[in-house]
Structure 1
Amino acid sequence: MSWKTQNKHRPGAYINVLGKGNNNNGADIGRTLLPVSTSLNWGAKGIIKLNSDSNFKALLGHDIDEPELQTLHEVLKGANTVLLLNNNDGTAAKATDAALPWAITAKYPGTLGNDLHVTIQKQDDRVAVTTLFGTKVVDQQVISVNRPNTLFDNDYVSFKLTNEMAPQSLSSGSNTNDSNDSGGKNTRASKAPVVMASKLDQLSDDVTVDLTGGTTKPAQISDLLNDALETENYDVATTAGFPVDSPLHKQLVDEIKHLREDNDIKVRGVIPFTGDKINYEGISTVANGVVLGDGTELDATVAAGFFAGASSSADAAKSLTYVEYPDAISAYPRLSNDKTVEALERGQIVFTTKRNETVVIEQDINSLTSFTDEKPVFFGKNRVVRTMDTIVTKVKNTYEDMFIGKVTNDSTGRDLFKANIISYLQGLSDASVISDFKESDVTVEVGNDRDAVLINFAVTPLDSMEKLYATMVVQ
């Protein structure tokens, strides 16, 4: 594209071709908090820590490629760790059998527990205990018939020893005493003795028990979310997966603002575009979705999950502008140039299709669009916000971990704190995260109270290259 003034909104190369002459021919982070948007009917209530290697079937009752985990699948394309907020609650399925020495209980509440089955097969002096989830074998253990207490709980069920022994009548052979009387009328039949024997030892046939009674009674996700946002350690929280009219999006926005402004906890949020104007540097909104290589169409509510995951993994030296969306072949819907510019001007994340059927994040921005002297235009760029958040968090943690209550508030103590901050900021300057840093940019003084410290420091965050303005002169 050509340019007249350096006022382009979209990242890209803008090149003018001009003639000149005589007219001759001749592009520890990574934790994303994600509340579940579908009923899983399995799993622990509250936070479940997950990564790409997790056993999703055991923890959530579904494989990662099942529809119930679609949003989680997208978040994990960018995040190192997902803190999945599960609202599953209810009653756990159970099973007992008089022939077995255990009471069997599903590990988690929910209706999926009713799909569990346990089979016991006798093999001489041993038994094989097999747990099935639906038709899939998920655990198998072989134990001695005389040691039922050695059966361990697995990822799906727990075994509680009840009565491992059962009464058994023993045959005594001929227990008849004959009298010398020829009439034989004094004959006495003795009763066979009864002993206690292992239930497992007495098995003659295979036994299969089906767990039943599992119910789902979901907890209020909104209540769980507020608690998790304030207590968990994460970088980005998202309500991806929830419909655009869900009140959870506004709840997330309000809580992120509260944490950042009132508690100095510099976390960020990602939501699908709901039609509301957010206008806040701590929140990014996603305008559209993508089509995956297998034809699956993901709208903005789900695709927002990928951006949230990628945002949590990006450090202060990285921009997500033009970062590719894994497995995507087209934006959904594909926005025209004018519509893309409009979305960027509204502070929205846009996915764009490139010529080679790859999809990229058009520009790594947030929803801040009304700029002031206190929040200038570069506050709308996520890399800059990550830099500012990283510095604030580092300074806060350094003070709380190393100085508060430990170092005397005198000139020596304050100089020690100052030296620590200078060393950190110089490292950021060397890493091209900030520029033009000088030691004089940091001052540390005593505050109004004798236990108070006042620090002032100036930084200039760097951004990534996004726009190329070029002029090619053809002679």
Structure 2
Amino acid sequence: MALGGGTFTAMNKIMPGAYINYVSAERADAALSGRGIAALPIELKWGKDGEVFEVEAGNFEAEALYTFGYSPDTEELKPVREVFKHAEKCLFYKLNSGEKASCEISEARYKGTRGNDIKHVVTANVDDTDKFDVITYIGTYKADTQTVGQISELEDNEFVVFKSGAVLNFTAGMNLTGGADGTVTGTEHQEALNLLESYSFNVLGCMSDMDSVKALYSSYCKRMRDTVGVKFQLVVRDYAADYIGTINLKNVVSDGNAKPYALIPWVVGAEAGCAVNKSCDNQTYDGEYAINTDFRQPELQEMIKNGVYVFHKVGNNVNVLSDINSYVSVTAEMNDDFQLNQVIRVLDQIAMDEAAVFNAKYHGKVQNDEDGRIAFWSDCVNIHKQLLKRRAIEEFEETDIVVERGNNKRTVITYDAVQPVCAMNKLYMTICTR
């Protein structure tokens, strides 16, 4: 039974790699031993176009203006703040393309309506009146000041690219205009997913309420997990995927013009940042939205049965009811343990770490004889011992891992028995009076 990763039905693979019921492809980060990495294709009013860009939580406040075009505390960056409540790092992709704003002397560095908030002030330099002081503002922030004799001497800054053939004239304010955000379709989402194949992350978010886009993300997640062997989970709103890799979020928020999927970034960050030996069960929402939790207990019970990830009211807090995924078609081979995201985190950790070890130390480097297989077995055992020490698994014995030669001289088979540990979430108490 597959613990996670690319599945196989026969030992007939052509390409070399780690086929332990998963396949490890070449990645931007070969080993996924840590957690906390989120991936979020998202609509933005400013930012790099057509590429994935990485922002670390610790650098967000300092980089926000230059990366996203806004100060970190603005309404426009609320979704970004939500993901960084718990994620350590996020891979962003700007979904909307649009148009660049421009004026007589410059063009915005990126497409989007934020470019319309850029302006230039051109004055005479106080020390040399033959020269110009060219000041660039974004909103009210003075982003750049340069003193030049002619426009060809200007250097492009973080926000604009100057037009070398233009003429400088004094102005109290020259605004850039024509910036547009553009419309997002399934094509832009597909482009984001294509680029993300080259990156390692723990949780991906689907920022769309279109059923066709949800299906696209769900299929991508299943293909990457089961065929390519890349382990991550997907968070999508109101989509019953019936799959261990997809988390089906229920709630919407009651904030003004917020999108139905506004909570996706927080859940993505929380699930990505959740340690392999932890659970998001009963985790309190610490974000900025007002969550709609108007559910009765029978409704909540039905949601759990249907694999729905839902927030509910607990006193003055709003908490995650149960850290579950959308898998509901339970079988003898894949029982209800696989409905728990904590279990999936453990299995994914083992799958990715063992594949990373194989590719880094053994693939094409170590002979497939008894000594070589014992060495690989020892590394696999060490991974499990670390998980045992962190109380992510229990009752582990070294004999639970078996490494054998496959059906040809280049193939190795690993059998891996593991018992993940889960956080408590039910208390049954009997009180006896005397």
Q: Do both share a fold (TM > 0.5)?
A: yes
1:459 to 402, 405, 418: 418
Which one of 137, 145, 149 corresponds to residue 141 of structure 2?
137
Correspondence for 2:292 among 332, 335, 343:
332
- Within-5 A mapping of 1:91-106: 91-96=99-104, 103-106=105-108
Q: How many residues align?
A: 393
Q: 2:194 is matched by which residue type in structure 1?
A: D
For the structure 1 residues 137 and 341, does the alpha-carbon distance in structure 2 shift closer, same or farther, using more than 3 Å as the test? Answer: same
1:300-348 CA distance string (max 9 Å, x none) = 5212321121001112101000111004697513211111111111111
TM-score (norm 1): 0.75
Q: 1:318 to 1:297 in 2, by over 3 A?
A: farther
- Report which stretch shifted further, 431-440 or 78-87: 78-87
- Give the whole-Å Cα distance in 2 for the aligned partners of 1:60 and 1:347: 35
Alpha-carbon shift at residue 428 of structure 1 (Å)? 1.1
Counterparts in 2 of 1:70-469, with a 5 A limit? Answer: 70-96=78-104, 103-122=105-124, 123-125=126-128, 127-134=132-139, 136-143=140-147, 145=148, 151-159=154-162, 161-162=164-165, 208-217=173-182, 220-240=187-207, 242-243=208-209, 245-274=210-239, 277-289=240-252, 301-327=261-287, 331-355=291-315, 357-469=316-428
> Can you give the 5+ residue segments of structure 1 that lack an aligned partner in the other structure?
1-27, 97-102, 164-198
Is the counterpart of residue 29 in structure 1 residue 32 in structure 2?
A: no
Superposed, which structure 2 residues align to 1:43-82 within 5 Å?
A: 43-50=48-55, 51=57, 52-53=60-61, 55-64=63-72, 66=74, 68-82=76-90
Kept in 1: contact 2:323–2:340 (CA 8 A): yes
CA contact (8 A) 1:287 1:300 kept: no
CA drift of 1:88 comes to 3.5
Distance 2:164 2:259 in 1: 50
Name the SS of the counterpart of 1:121 in structure 2.
strand
CA gap 1:217/1:472 in 2 versus in 1, 3 angstroms: closer
Whole-Å separation in 2 of the counterparts to 1:363 and 1:130: 53
Structure 1 distance, partners of 2:288, 2:101, is 40
2:132–2:149 Cα contact (<8 Å) kept: no
| Distance in 2, Cα, partners of 1:413 & 1:461 | 28
CA positional deviation for 1:454: 1.5
Per-residue CA deviation, residues 62-90 of structure 1 (Å, 9 max, x unaligned), is 45555544433322223222222213335
Residue 144 of structure 2: SS of its match in structure 1?
Answer: strand
Q: Which runs of 5+ in 2 are unaligned?
A: 1-33
Distance 2:319 2:256 in 1: 17
Matches of 2:94 and 2:290 in 1, distance apart? Answer: 31
Given residue 285 of structure 1, which amino acid in structure 2 is its aligned partner? N
Larger Rg: 1
2:266–2:287 contact (8 Å) kept in structure 1: no
Q: Counting strand residues as a fraction of each chain, which structure ranks higher?
A: 1
Kindly tell me: are residues 353 and 427 of structure 1, through their superposed partners in 2, closer, same or farther at Cα, counting changes over 3 Å?
same
> Secondary structure of the residue that 2:244 maps to in structure 1?
coil
- Post-superposition shift, 1:260? 0.8
SS of structure 1 residue aligned to 2:90: strand
Q: Deviations over 1:39-60 (max 9, x none)?
A: 6265433323234425334333
Q: Distance in 2 between matches of 1:283 and 1:430?
A: 28
Would the aligned equivalents of 1:117 and 1:133 in 2 still touch at CA under 8 Å? yes
Worse overlay, 256-265 or 220-229: 220-229
Distance 1:297 1:215 in 2: 19
SS of 2:415's equivalent? Answer: strand
CA distance in 1, matches of 2:122, 2:257: 45
Farther off after superposition, 464-473 or 153-162: 153-162
Q: Which residue identity lines up with residue 141 of structure 2 in the other structure?
A: V
Matched-pair contact (CA < 8 Å) for 1:42–1:60: yes
Q: TM-score, normalised by structure 2?
A: 0.82
In structure 1, C-alpha distance between the alignment counterparts of 2:258 and 2:149, rounded to whole Å? 55
Q: Secondary structure at the match of 1:271?
A: strand
Q: Secondary structure at the match of 1:107?
A: strand
- Seen in structure 2, the aligned counterparts of structure 1 residues 121 and 66 have a Cα distance that, compared at 3 Å, is same
The CA distance in 1 between the partners of 2:158 and 2:380, in whole Å, is 47
C-alpha distance 104-266 of structure 1, shift in aligned 2 (>3 A): same
Aligned-residue offset at 1:365: 0.6
In the alignment, the residues of structure 1 paired with residue 190 and residue 62 of structure 2 have an alpha-carbon distance, to the nearest angstrom, of 26
CA contact (8 A) 2:87 2:272 kept: yes
Q: Hey, what's the Cα distance between the residues in 2 that align with 1:109 and 1:290?
A: 29
Contact 1:130/1:137 (8 A) holds in 2: no
Question: 8 Å contact 1:281–1:368 — kept in the other structure?
Answer: yes
